[in-house]
A and B are shown apart, each in its own frame.
Chain A
Amino acid sequence: MEKVLMKGNEAIAEAAIMAGCRHFFGYPITPQTEVAAYMSKRLPKIGGVYLQAESEISSINMILGAASAGVRAMTSSSSPGISLMSEGISYMAACDLPSVIVNIQRGGPGLGGIQPSQADYWQATRSSGHGDFHIIALAPNSIQEIVDLTQRAFDLADTYRMPVIILGDGILGQMMEPVELRPNISANPPEKTWAANGTGGKRKKNIINSLYLKPDQLEQINFERFKRYKLVEKKEALHEAYLTDDADIILVAYGATSRICRNAITQARANGVKAGLLRPITLWPFPVQAIKQTMQRAKAFICVEMSMGQMIDDVKLAIECERPVAFLGRTGGMVHTPEEILAKIEAVDRGETA
């Protein structure tokens, strides 16, 4: 298949179209605007609907409506916009609605800035909205992986009837790489017998709702939903291990940061320090077992994030605090250099793990 040169944001949009998404609702915000721009050009030509809503609150509720009708729908935004969507995401989780939400993170908190960041990890994995629920969080680190995972996101959403977030960052959204637009979707997606898309006079009405008048009924529904989450945790965790087999020091990083870590690891190995990278591809479910396994040999871990330290908690939990976990963070839109990561690896190798 002939490769094309694509920007991360365009790749998300094209992959969604390949997955059968014909409904996009969104509101522009840097650094993800090209997702919407691409959809606005492509969807009208293929019988789809592109609609620029008046706000992110509207976009997410339009997604809720489209998902209720059983179609594949997507919205995308960047950090502050995702905060505005919180209520809608919680409602969709409560209604067991599949959907794909894209967050191309920028510096925060608040209006923050337009440069890349990974400071919405807690938001994506812990608190996408109020109430007891999870969403699946996918963290690609290349444009090809964006193409593959965006398609997969739609299948995961339909299979488990839950929202899936693609957690990228400004670098991934803006950078360009050659990609193969190869299909990566299930040939037999589950039939949406629950969708409110007309009874045709043949069945009872389907009702999409998140209000329960009896607390015991709501508790029971939450119990059932969490059984499904257990299944997701068991079956869907993804990771990539890079030079971890003989590594004394394991870096844990995702997204664009993991790419810079790879360059630092190459330099560290040239200097005689055996470092490796464990890259979570799913942030929820977190690849707990994969990280645990690297502990057999590793003497220390370094969590590298474009944040003040959010994933580090999950790393410590995964290894049950049995090894020191050092942290190297940049924030506010600043990006690590391979040199500063190398310096951290060498410091940890000398035993400076604080």
Chain B
Amino acid sequence: MYYGPKKFDEPMTHARITLFAGHYGSGKTNLAVNYAIALKHLHPGSRVILADLDIVNPYFRSLDSADALECAGIEIIASQFANSNLEAPSMPGEAMILFDNKACCGVIDVGGDERGAYAVGRYSDYIREENVDALLVCNKYRPLSREPEQVLSIKNEIENAARIKFTGLVNNSNLGAQTTPEHIISSLRYINRVSELCGLPVIFTGAARGLADYLPGMTGLFCLDIHGKNEWRIN
């Protein structure tokens, strides 16, 4: 039921489960939240689940977007200690629903770097069996993933820790609120080089909704709403 023609004009994969991993701060959580909402648009009758496997990041988590997710009718499965004062690297048993219940679809949000990716290892057999689309999120404007070669070593570290293989790349190059259309255009060369080096296809480029209007004719653009905390944002 997930392999029909696309009803939603976003570039998306056709897998039942899509996983986002990458260097920390590359924007995985916001991507995962947006992607889950887009999945729900695509499959309004289905149970859509966002599994937050991030057990390393103390702040800025998918739960910060709980309102937007619940509003869209998406279930969140996260560590019961997320956003609390307890750092217990554990996942609830419900995380298995995504693999056990073949009628649901969803997104897996993985913690940053290899440190965050270890949590995926526990599910790696299921991920392989299920042909999960495992996407490596890349941001050219992060200091330790500026060079395509650096991305390659991050990719290898995460694959070893998570015991999975990536199936595609997501270009999420951004400078936060200061991102301009030029930043996105100039990141295309970077992501294509990463793609050449590791042999993985670029599935899409993420851009904040306001920027997409300035990028006419750019294909493979996935529009993002920026979710999360903002009371201390200053311009």
Q: Which residues of A line the B interface, CB within 8 A?
A: 3-7, 10, 14, 30-31, 34, 37-38, 41, 107, 112-116, 142, 170-171, 174-178, 181, 256, 259-260, 262-263, 333, 335-338
> For the complex, what is the distance from the CA of A87 to the CA of B146, rounded to whole Å?
41
Q: Is the CB of A5 within 8 A of B232?
A: no
Can you show 21 pairs from A to B with CB atoms below 8 A apart? A4-B142, A4-B143, A4-B146, A5-B141, A5-B142, A6-B142, A6-B143, A30-B58, A37-B113, A41-B144, A113-B85, A114-B58, A170-B58, A171-B59, A176-B176, A178-B141, A259-B233, A263-B231, A263-B233, A263-B234, A333-B85
Q: Is the CB of A114 within 8 A of B146?
A: no
Q: Is the CB of A10 within 8 A of B58?
A: no
Majority SS at the chain A contact face = mixed
> For the complex, what is the distance from the CA of A271 to the CA of B173, rounded to whole Å?
39
Q: Is B70 an interface residue (CB 8 A)?
A: no
Q: Is B25 an interface residue (CB 8 A)?
A: yes
Q: How far is the CB of B63 from chain A (nearest CB, A)?
A: 13
Closest chain B residue, CB of each to CB of A337: B231
Q: Is the CB of A5 within 8 A of B176?
A: yes
Which residues from chain B contact A37 at a C-beta distance below 8 Å? 113, 115
Which residues from chain A contact B231 at a C-beta distance below 8 Å? 260, 263, 335-338
Q: Is the CB of A178 within 8 A of B175?
A: yes
Known A30-B58, A178-B178; further 13 A-B contacts with Cβ < 8 A: A3-B175, A4-B175, A5-B176, A6-B25, A10-B143, A114-B85, A115-B58, A174-B58, A176-B25, A177-B176, A178-B177, A256-B232, A259-B232
Which residues from chain A contact B178 at a C-beta distance below 8 Å? 3, 178
> For the complex, what is the distance from the CA of A3 to the CA of B174, rounded to whole Å?
10
Q: Is the CB of A30 within 8 A of B87?
A: yes
Which residues from chain A contact B59 at a C-beta distance below 8 Å? 31, 115-116, 170-171, 174
Q: Which residues of B line the A interface, CB within 8 A?
A: 24-25, 57-60, 85, 87, 113, 115, 139, 141-144, 146, 174-178, 231-234
Q: Is the CB of B85 within 8 A of A107?
A: yes
> For the complex, what is the distance from the CA of A256 to the CA of B232, rounded to whole Å?
7
Which residues from chain B contact A4 at a C-beta distance below 8 Å? 141-143, 146, 175
Q: Is the CB of A5 within 8 A of B144?
A: no
Given A37-B115, A114-B58, are A3 and B85 also a contact pair (CB < 8 Å)?
no
- Nearest 7 Cβ contacts at the A-B interface: A113-B85, A178-B175, A259-B232, A174-B59, A178-B178, A5-B141, A4-B143
A112's partner among B85, B141, B175 (CB-CB below 8 A) is: B85
Q: Is the CB of B58 within 8 A of A5?
A: no
Which residues from chain A contact B233 at a C-beta distance below 8 Å? 259, 263
> For the complex, what is the distance from the CA of A38 to the CA of B57, rounded to whole Å?
15
Q: How far is the CB of B62 from chain A (nearest CB, A)?
A: 15
Closest chain B residue, CB of each to CB of A4: B143
> For the complex, what is the distance from the CA of A336 to the CA of B232, rounded to whole Å?
9
> For the complex, what is the distance from the CA of A113 to the CA of B81, rounded to whole Å?
12
> For the complex, what is the distance from the CA of A174 to the CA of B60, rounded to whole Å?
8
Given A174-B59, A262-B234, A335-B231, are A3 and B141 also a contact pair (CB < 8 Å)?
yes
Closest chain B residue, CB of each to CB of A30: B58
* B143, B146, B174, B175: most-surrounded residue (chain A CB, <10 A): B143
> For the complex, what is the distance from the CA of A115 to the CA of B84, rounded to whole Å?
8
Q: Is the CB of A5 within 8 A of B85?
A: no
> For the complex, what is the distance from the CA of A116 to the CA of B87, rounded to whole Å?
15
> For the complex, what is the distance from the CA of A109 to the CA of B58, rounded to whole Å?
19
Closest chain A residue, CB of each to CB of B230: A263
> For the complex, what is the distance from the CA of A337 to the CA of B115, rounded to whole Å?
32
> For the complex, what is the distance from the CA of A257 to the CA of B216, rounded to whole Å?
40
Q: Is the CB of B139 within 8 A of A5?
A: yes
